[in-house]
A and B are shown apart, each in its own frame.
Chain A
């Protein structure tokens, strides 16, 4: 085999990435071919020279800052979440107004059929009937009853929405409490860790002082002798 065919294996062999078959092939060639052996030795020495240049420690620290939300910011978010937004208030009012109108309109709608005459009027716009008759009386009662039901429905709705809001507040408060507790545990851990460090340092210093004192005593003893 020619030298040039084997040179691609030099790098594999030098950096120990050669297959067993190729290693045998190359070693057999190097044993016979002095110029290849010389070249390979030169490459190995060059690599050794390169290896004498050691890594240095960077004189800076790369610190990647990840966003940490403080408990104060979290609190603000909680409160903001609880308070209705202006847009929400506006749309809520509009819906409430439309809802009230519809409910009142349906409740006050009067439909009557008398002497071949069919009458229908929306209660909101119709004026109260001027003539009172037994029929009108019963209609009045129905209207009152409907209004009562209406009132009852509205108050139930209000109560429920109030209850929902209270529940949301309770959850938020609970969440806050948990956050506070977590923060406290973290702080306590930090304090504990700091205290441990101080204790270790103090111990080390005491030991060092003890050792120096011993050495001093020995020195004095030796001098006295």
Chain B
């Protein structure tokens, strides 16, 4: 059953089908939010909030075929709210404190460098790769970061990203281009290549 069919059932009164929608979207949505916010606990809360908002507002969704853009729009808005809240609270993450201790937030943390240098022939595990990419993504402006996550990990078309973020198509493509170029420079600086990650090449 497609999302559109499920939504039609739900809107016709079969509210119990919403759980099927949740099961289908839980993982992609959580991973999107986690990459956006970079914090597991917070991402879990925002995932729950997203589903609650979707449940409450489903009737307002004019075109069920645009559900994926819509759900990411809701999630992205909630993430943005969380980031604002954090900056209001003068929130300092543990990662930032660590970086400050190293006097340079733009450097790859030493422990990751060590793990790369120590065993160049064994591949890094997912946790290490995640830390590196997460760190690199956090260096980008938020507006570029969200486009890159939506494109690379959620596999949305540029048109869908434009709908979700309510921005012109060309703006989205140019944010993607600048964001990717920014990451390219960061990875070069950290000497991270596909070969270094050595992941099932």
Chain B hits for A49, CB < 8 A:
133, 183, 187, 192-194, 197
How close is A46's CB to chain B, nearest CB, in angstroms? Answer: 4
Closest-by-CB residue of B relative to A39 is: B181
Closest residue on chain A to residue B127 by CB atoms:
A56
Contact with B along A66-97 (1 / 0, CB 8 A): 10000000000000000000000000000000
Flag whether B18 is at the interface (Cβ < 8 A): yes
> B167-184 CB contact bits vs A (8 Å, 1 = yes)?
000100110110011011
What 0/1 readout, one digit per residue, does chain B (16-42) give for beta carbons within 8 Å of chain A?
101100100011101100100000100
Q: How far is the CB of B12 from chain A (nearest CB, A)?
A: 14
A43 CB contacts on chain B under 8 angstroms: 177, 180-181, 184
Question: Is B151's CB under 8 angstroms from A15's CB?
Answer: yes
Q: With A17-B157, A47-B152 in contact, is A54–B126 under 8 Å at CB?
A: yes
Question: Is B180 in contact with A53, judged by CB distance below 8 angstroms?
Answer: no
Nearest residue, chain A, Cβ from B51? A62
If the complex has contacts A49-B192, A56-B31, A62-B51, are A11 and B18 also in contact, measured as CB distance less than 8 A? no
A66 contacts B174, C-beta separation under 8 Å: no
A57 at the interface (CB under 8 A from B): yes
Bound complex: CA A58 to CA B34 (Å): 10
Say yes or no: A8 contacts B177, CB within 8 Å: yes
CB distance from A114 to the nearest CB of B (A): 74
Indicate which residue in B48, B129, B183 contacts A52 across the interface (CB closer than 8 Å): B129
Bound together, the chains give a CA A58 to CA B32 distance in angstroms of 11
- Measured CB to CB, the nearest residue on chain B to A15 is B151
A121 to B87, CA, bound (A): 89
- A58 interface neighbour in B47, B174, B192, B197, Cβ under 8 Å: B47
Q: Is the interface of A mostly helix, strand, loop or mixed?
A: loop
* Interface size counted on chain A using CB atoms at 8 A: 31
Q: Is B91 an interface residue (CB 8 A)?
A: no
A53 (CB) vs chain B CBs: closest residue: B133
Is A55 within 8 A of B152, CB to CB? Answer: no
Indicate if the CB atoms of A62 and B48 lie closer than 8 Å. Answer: yes
Q: Are B173 and A62 in contact (CB under 8 A)?
A: no
Contact B27 A57, beta carbon cutoff 8 Å: yes
A22 CB, nearest partner CB in chain B, Å: 12
Q: Residue A50 at the B interface, CB < 8 A?
A: yes
Q: Which residues of B contact A59 (CB under 8 A)?
A: 40, 44
Question: A55 near B47 (CB under 8 angstroms)?
Answer: no
Smallest CB–CB gap between B131 and chain A, Å? 9
B140 CB to nearest chain A CB (Å): 12
Contact A53:B129 (CB < 8 A) given known A11-B177, A64-B18, A66-B18: yes
In the complex, which residues of chain A have a beta carbon less than 8 angstroms from the beta carbon of B22? Answer: 62-64
Query: Which of A17, A56, A62, A63 gathers most chain B CB within 10 Å?
Result: A62
Closest 4 CB pairs of A and B: A58-B30, A46-B184, A55-B31, A53-B133
A-B contact pairs, 24 of them (CB 8 A): A11-B177, A12-B173, A15-B151, A15-B158, A17-B157, A39-B181, A43-B180, A46-B180, A46-B183, A47-B180, A49-B183, A50-B133, A51-B152, A53-B134, A55-B28, A56-B126, A58-B26, A58-B44, A58-B47, A62-B22, A62-B48, A64-B22, A64-B51, A66-B19
